[in-house]
A and B are shown apart, each in its own frame.
Chain A
């Protein structure tokens, strides 16, 4: 079975995209990501193995659905060293989705405090950035930035996996590729 797959991969080419090192017409990128805060940068860069902790602060499960696809074969974010972690103690990046409700704001702070430094916070999707269409609803705070220091905001509703991948790389300063980066590293990213 596995040899057969290995052979068919050789013939057909792998499913995994080479984005963002190389453009891919199948990978849609729509949103614009914003680098917001500089917090946490002085504590040093995060490289090689980046453990992601996801927190749903009031989403519609669209952002989750797209985030989940990053671990799938089409986007495979582990090729850059990303993985989801079951414990905040191991987490480097906290990804927050959804409008921030009052009850989740408290939980969010606990998770953030439990994470070791250096750490980053990524606001995923329009809801997490400003509450989107739900801004002003009772009990909805509507922005991660009011509660935690956000490094990168990934816009979109939901942002596509391509957007998320770029945003995560931006959060750990691996994207856009900088001058002077070794050819080897560049190849890994491609």
Chain B
């Protein structure tokens, strides 16, 4: 961990330094106000095991990184200006929102309650005739203040809270949080534990992606494909329950124990084959492809500004996949494919997710037979090193890079402070520009379904 701390007078230098590191290829992970009021930016060079901390002590006036073209932290800036301490005031953003007014503009207020089963989010969709000219997203209907609730709690209690941030990425949250805690305590997990966690994470990705594709198929009116995908998602959830004891892998990290079932591997492989068959069917269906190709293309400037992560990012040329750039699981020992595309439209997002399903099936197929079978209490399988009380954990969740920073108290067992950067909170900022990019009103549900970010990960 390298640390640089600026004083309040150097606030411009602080942002300039971060911008420079960003241009050099450092991935910006999170921005948070630490327990000691220092404002920390956190980044990491691909391939390195070191985190870079850029701190600014007792900030009074800090230039918004977004005003300098750093969009990765835009949601965290909002958070800080809304709930931050009084000592923290922001210079107003130079990037004011584009406002559309005039005769002939009609604004549809959609939400926060929607037609089907979905999370609460308000879309204000402005159209001119059929063309979507602007979209404003209003979130914040359901904040649960999880990071704040975790403060002062024992680690295991905090784990119960973070695994309930987003259910479809429940295990990813458990792992990223625990990785941060282990990092802070100076513990290193052995290989068996890492294999176990990697299998669970890939199973979670499978269920999440299959559910996403089902909703995408239904948005284009293809009910047969939707039902087929839903069935496969249910199959994976049932396997999660048999192998790990919970359909959404709640508590799976603490259990650290897999049920032996010889039918698991062949049946999960079969799910992969079935998914491939449905995807192939869709790829031969012109009514599906016509609606997806070219729809909801993310503008280049937005891609550069926000640097989206996960499948959304990989579908528009941002190749960050935590599994490949940092070694945290067992991913370095096995080769697996990372599908990417440059085009950034709904079709690219569909393709990337569909191929990731096959890639995850492959990982599960190889790792499942080598997961240690015996009871596996976590404490016996770690090496103790010197802990610093501050730790960072990062995994590739189904929707992209998920990062936690944890400050422990002096006992090393209680959480003093917690910060989290979810992939959805970052990626939601590419949705409005992608929507208002030459699409018509009828494309709206399809583009929306091609992203399928989580609102609970944004509102937290």
Contact = CB atoms under 8 A, between A and B. Distances in A.
Interface of A: 15, 26, 28, 53-69, 71-74, 84-87, 98-99, 101, 103-104, 107, 111, 132-134, 137-140, 157-158, 160-161
A56 B120 contact: yes
Contacts of B164: 60, 62, 132-134, 157
Given A74-B234, A157-B250, A61 B455 contact: yes
A58 B234 contact: no
Contacts of A107: 112-113, 120, 141
Contacts, number: 131
Contacts of B115: 84-87
Nearest to A70: B117
Contact of B166 (A60, A67, A84): A60
Interface stretch (B190-198, B225-233, B325-333, B400-408): B225-233
Interface stretch (B143-151, B264-272, B363-371, B379-387): B143-151
A58 B144 contact: yes
Nearest to B140: A103
Interface string B185-220: 000000000000000000000000001001000000
A60 B116 CA distance: 17
A98 B142 contact: yes
3 nearest A-B residue pairs (beta carbon) = A62-B167, A72-B230, A86-B115
B355 to A, nearest CB: 23
Given A65-B211, A158-B248, A55 B113 contact: yes
Given A103-B141, A104-B142, A134-B144, A61 B113 contact: no
Given A56-B142, A65-B211, A140-B145, 14 more contacts: A55-B113, A56-B455, A59-B142, A60-B166, A60-B167, A61-B166, A61-B167, A62-B164, A65-B168, A68-B211, A69-B234, A72-B234, A107-B120, A158-B247
Interface of B: 112-113, 115-120, 140-146, 148-149, 160-161, 164-168, 170, 211, 214, 227-228, 230-231, 233-234, 237-238, 241, 247-248, 250, 454-456
Given A61-B168, A134-B144, A160-B247, A28 B211 contact: no
Contacts of A66: 247
